[in-house]
Amino acid sequence: GAVVSQHPSRVICKSGTSVKIECRSLDFQATTMFWYRQFPKKSLMLMATSNEGSKATYEQGVEKDKFLINHASLTLSTLTVTSAHPEDSSFYICSAPGTSGRKQYFGPGTRLTVT
Protein backbone atom coordinates (compact mmCIF):
# COMPACT_ATOMS: atom_id res chain seq x y z
CA GLY A 1 0.00 0.00 0.00
CA ALA A 2 0.88 3.65 -0.19
CA VAL A 3 3.44 4.84 2.32
CA VAL A 4 4.20 8.29 3.64
CA SER A 5 7.40 8.92 5.55
CA GLN A 6 8.51 11.78 7.72
CA HIS A 7 11.97 12.90 8.72
CA PRO A 8 13.11 13.36 11.36
CA SER A 9 10.95 11.32 13.71
CA ARG A 10 12.14 13.35 16.68
CA VAL A 11 13.94 16.66 16.93
CA ILE A 12 15.02 18.82 19.83
CA CYS A 13 16.02 22.39 19.12
CA LYS A 14 16.76 25.55 21.02
CA SER A 15 14.44 28.52 21.16
CA GLY A 16 14.96 30.88 18.26
CA THR A 17 16.24 28.29 15.81
CA SER A 18 14.41 26.92 12.79
CA VAL A 19 13.55 23.31 12.16
CA LYS A 20 12.64 21.63 8.88
CA ILE A 21 10.41 18.57 8.73
CA GLU A 22 10.14 16.52 5.56
CA CYS A 23 7.15 14.56 4.35
CA ARG A 24 7.59 12.13 1.47
CA SER A 25 5.19 9.95 -0.45
CA LEU A 26 7.30 6.89 -1.11
CA ASP A 27 5.51 5.03 -3.88
CA PHE A 28 3.01 7.47 -5.26
CA GLN A 29 2.82 11.07 -6.33
CA ALA A 30 0.97 13.65 -4.30
CA THR A 31 0.13 17.04 -5.71
CA THR A 32 -1.50 17.82 -2.40
CA MET A 33 -0.31 17.06 1.11
CA PHE A 34 -1.71 18.11 4.44
CA TRP A 35 0.05 19.15 7.64
CA TYR A 36 -1.50 18.53 11.04
CA ARG A 37 -0.47 19.32 14.56
CA GLN A 38 -1.35 17.19 17.56
CA PHE A 39 -0.96 18.30 21.16
CA PRO A 40 -0.69 15.65 23.89
CA LYS A 41 -3.97 13.81 24.39
CA LYS A 42 -5.62 16.04 21.80
CA SER A 43 -6.91 15.58 18.30
CA LEU A 44 -5.19 16.40 15.03
CA MET A 45 -5.63 20.00 13.98
CA LEU A 46 -5.22 20.77 10.32
CA MET A 47 -2.60 23.47 9.84
CA ALA A 48 -2.31 23.81 6.09
CA THR A 49 -2.71 22.27 2.69
CA SER A 50 0.50 21.97 0.74
CA ASN A 51 0.14 22.33 -3.02
CA GLU A 52 2.83 21.28 -5.46
CA GLY A 53 3.90 24.21 -7.56
CA SER A 54 1.87 26.82 -5.74
CA LYS A 55 1.45 28.44 -2.36
CA ALA A 56 0.18 26.53 0.60
CA THR A 57 -3.29 27.20 1.96
CA TYR A 58 -3.28 27.88 5.68
CA GLU A 59 -6.11 27.27 8.11
CA GLN A 60 -7.44 30.15 10.13
CA GLY A 61 -5.19 31.06 13.01
CA VAL A 62 -2.06 29.43 11.60
CA GLU A 63 0.80 31.87 11.02
CA LYS A 64 2.11 31.38 7.51
CA ASP A 65 5.35 33.22 8.29
CA LYS A 66 5.98 30.95 11.25
CA PHE A 67 5.18 27.66 9.54
CA LEU A 68 6.72 27.78 6.10
CA ILE A 69 5.56 25.11 3.70
CA ASN A 70 7.28 24.20 0.48
CA HIS A 71 5.99 21.51 -1.86
CA ALA A 72 9.06 21.15 -4.01
CA SER A 73 8.14 18.05 -5.94
CA LEU A 74 5.35 15.54 -6.41
CA THR A 75 6.73 13.41 -3.59
CA LEU A 76 8.08 15.94 -1.09
CA SER A 77 6.60 18.62 1.13
CA THR A 78 8.53 20.39 3.87
CA LEU A 79 7.34 22.24 6.93
CA THR A 80 9.80 24.69 8.47
CA VAL A 81 9.07 25.98 11.94
CA THR A 82 10.86 29.32 12.04
CA SER A 83 12.17 30.96 15.19
CA ALA A 84 10.82 28.11 17.25
CA HIS A 85 9.52 28.68 20.77
CA PRO A 86 8.64 26.17 23.49
CA GLU A 87 4.94 26.54 22.66
CA ASP A 88 5.69 25.15 19.19
CA SER A 89 6.60 21.85 20.80
CA SER A 90 4.15 19.35 19.40
CA PHE A 91 3.65 16.31 17.23
CA TYR A 92 3.52 17.24 13.55
CA ILE A 93 1.88 14.82 11.13
CA CYS A 94 1.57 14.97 7.37
CA SER A 95 -0.75 13.12 5.08
CA ALA A 96 -1.25 12.63 1.39
CA PRO A 97 -4.28 11.40 -0.54
CA GLY A 98 -3.78 8.20 -2.45
CA THR A 99 -4.35 7.65 -6.13
CA SER A 100 -8.14 7.62 -5.82
CA GLY A 101 -8.04 10.81 -3.79
CA ARG A 102 -10.45 9.58 -1.15
CA LYS A 103 -8.18 7.80 1.27
CA GLN A 104 -5.49 9.65 3.17
CA TYR A 105 -2.16 8.11 4.05
CA PHE A 106 -0.60 9.49 7.18
CA GLY A 107 3.03 9.79 8.02
CA PRO A 108 4.34 8.49 11.35
CA GLY A 109 4.73 12.01 12.72
CA THR A 110 7.59 14.16 13.97
CA ARG A 111 7.95 14.98 17.65
CA LEU A 112 9.33 18.51 18.01
CA THR A 113 10.62 19.68 21.36
CA VAL A 114 11.81 23.27 21.70
CA THR A 115 13.92 23.98 24.76
Partner 1 sequence: AQSVSQHNHHVILSEAASLELGCNYSYGGTVNLFWYVQYPGQHLQLLLKYFSGDPLVKGIKGFEAEFIKSKFSFNLRKPSVQWSDTAEYFCAVNAGTSYDKVIFGPGTSLSVIP
Taking the least distance from each CB to partner 1, the nearer of 5 and 82 is: 5
Taking the least distance from each CB to partner 1, the nearer of 86 and 101 is: 101
Burial class of residue 63, CB neighbours in 10 A (0-12, 13-18, 19+): exposed
Residue 59 beta carbon to partner 1: minimum distance, rounded to whole angstroms: 9
Residue 62 beta carbon to partner 1: minimum distance, rounded to whole angstroms: 13
CB-CB contact of 50 with 58 (8 Å)? no
Taking the least distance from each CB to partner 1, the nearer of 36 and 67 is: 36
Question: Comparing C-alpha atoms, which of 4, 11, 9, 7 is closest to residue 84?
Answer: 11
3-state helix, strand, coil in the chain (%, to 5): 5, 55, 45
Q: Can you tell me the distance from the alpha carbon of 90 to that of 111, in angstroms, rounded to the nearest whole number?
A: 6
Taking the least distance from each CB to partner 1, the nearer of 81 and 93 is: 93
| Cα 103 → chain centroid | 18
Residue 58 beta carbon to partner 1: minimum distance, rounded to whole angstroms: 12
Residue 80 beta carbon to partner 1: minimum distance, rounded to whole angstroms: 20
Q: Which residues bind partner 1 (CB under 8 A)?
A: 31-32, 34, 36, 41-46, 49, 93, 95, 97, 100-104, 106-109
